[in-house]
Structure 1
Amino acid sequence: MEINDSFPEEQFFAISNSEVPWFPDITNFLAANIIPQGLTHQKKKCFFNDVKNYFWDDPFLFRRCANQVIRRCIIGSEISKLVEHCHSRPTGGHYSGTKTAHKILESGFYWPSLFKDSIRYVTLCDKCQRTGNICKCDEMPENYMLSCEIFNVWGIDFMGPFPSSFGNKYILAAVDYMSKWVEAQALPTNDARVVERFLKKLFSRFQTPRAIISDRGTHFCSTQFEKTLKK
């Protein structure tokens, strides 16, 4: 049969609009040992020095970076989606261009203009431009987690003075850090003597705790209070 050399126009259109990646010379050399034409001696030397960091695993090209981490090389059509995912999506956080670029590197991807494209995307992000820079006041407080068992650590403090009610002007409250159990008592004064009485009732019901946390007021930092804790 006679060979049909005609091609549909759709195939010509697909070929003419196909994207050319940034690494055809590297892939041609690694896959078929084809050296790019028209390179000067200096450019050819740089090309052979750079191609040592790449290896071809059909259909992807990988680069071995300076920290010996292997990352997949990305073509142009995938760059915008990847930067958007690492910056604007819920896992991104709308960080700066440099931090977004580091998130992309941690995800295992690479292309030569990675940092430049990430910074350009952040400058065009509408939400980032409206919000401005993220400062310390926007960060969540990082508090140490206290590992303890129930009724082992108590927080104690005075509230008041309040208007006198049956001769009482202050409220001494103690909160267990584990169960959030609250013990409170109305008292006429806020000295170390009433604190000692309150603690003796507390210890007799819930045993002696490992630690008591206070604001180090004079009614909590006294010799009488320390003797009670030693007992």
Structure 2
Amino acid sequence: MAFQFFLSGEILYKRTHDATLLRCVDAEEANRLIQEMHAGLMGAHANGPFLARKIMRAGYYWLTMERDCIRHVQTCHKCQMYQNSKNAPPQYLHTMASPWPFSAWGMDVIGAITPKASNGHEFILVAIDYFTKWVEACSFKNVTQVAVTRFVKNNIICRYGMPEMLITDNASNLNNRMMDQLCQQFKIQHHNSAPYRPKMNGAVEAANKNVKKILSKMTETYKDWHEHLPYALCAYRTSVRTSVGATPYSLLEEAEWAQARYEQLNFIDEKRLAALCHGQLYQRRIERAYNKKARPRTFQPGDLVLKKRNMALSDSRGKFAPSYEGPYVVKKAFSGGAIILADMDGEEFRSPINSDSVIKRPGKRRKSVRTLPSDEIYHGYGENLGRGAIGKSNVESWTWRKLRYGSFDMKENVWGSRGGAQVYPSKHPVSK
């Protein structure tokens, strides 16, 4: 390997296979080259191997250049914020099975539907039983909290008994004081799915898709969909559901639709048990297929992460908005993949989010979130933070600004480790 290098005066060169000469640089110059080529005026924030080849084409070389370039790209904040979303699931599939009919219901709202129905309705409130896949639905002009509680009483409790569990999303019309009082009155456990993650209530989302598909093929004037809703529900209930291997009608009424009503009470339990076994086998098959694509990512309290930006929210940057926002600190991590985040000031998020909405941010784990009081200003000297302190009488000569995260730095030189404040010199800095 030594024959590839030679000295020309005081400069070391490397001779490549195509007889090109590359000037060897030290660690300080290598770091400057990486920063300039990656994020400089003509930098394209390329990946690590491409960045190393770009530096080599410019005529520079050092032994660990590709490894250093990859490490620099992994810690680049802009590259982290604008990277593509990870499609591989971060957790294995967690299936949920209902132990008996009508013990667990999922509920969601379809709409607003355009065009409106001829009677002014533009919403459909849908509920599905997790065991039999039986669907109840009604159309509304506005899905108010009164309409939701009346729907639960009339279409679920009074028809099929009191459920053990009710799963909804985080919409305000499904989560309010009237709903809490109803669940408390009938001893119903009300659970919420993670925000912006409809997969957690997948049964009702699948029912919504199928109901909309059936309605779209039944409508003629596109404003008569409310008249076809009962027929769409009948078609859904009398169709074989793949997840249970039977029709919801047969599991509920113990006989197929339009058949003679015979006394088959001795066989209904057998059919329901067969449906339960079929559903468990179906879930295992789906779980195996799902877990093949999963790339488990574990999170621990104190980890720094970036959260996927909600594309439904408007952003003034438009197409140039980053894919992620942050960083945030993992406050709590649960075994099912849910995590609770906090911002860099320590304020926790109200609702947990799923781990597939976040990615780890390279960096040391944050033990605690700390900020400095506004009446205390510090400056560093070299790498030793706080060797000297600026008195309060000199505060007017400096500017203090609180950041969500950052370092103690002056101009471009980082003087300390991660903290909660940043000090900038004014036109008349204080002498040391």
Question: Please, what TM-score do these two structures have when normalized by structure 2?
Answer: 0.21
Higher fraction of strand: 2
Higher fraction of helix: 1
Question: Please, what TM-score do these two structures have when normalized by structure 1?
Answer: 0.39
Which of 1 and 2 has greater Rg? 1
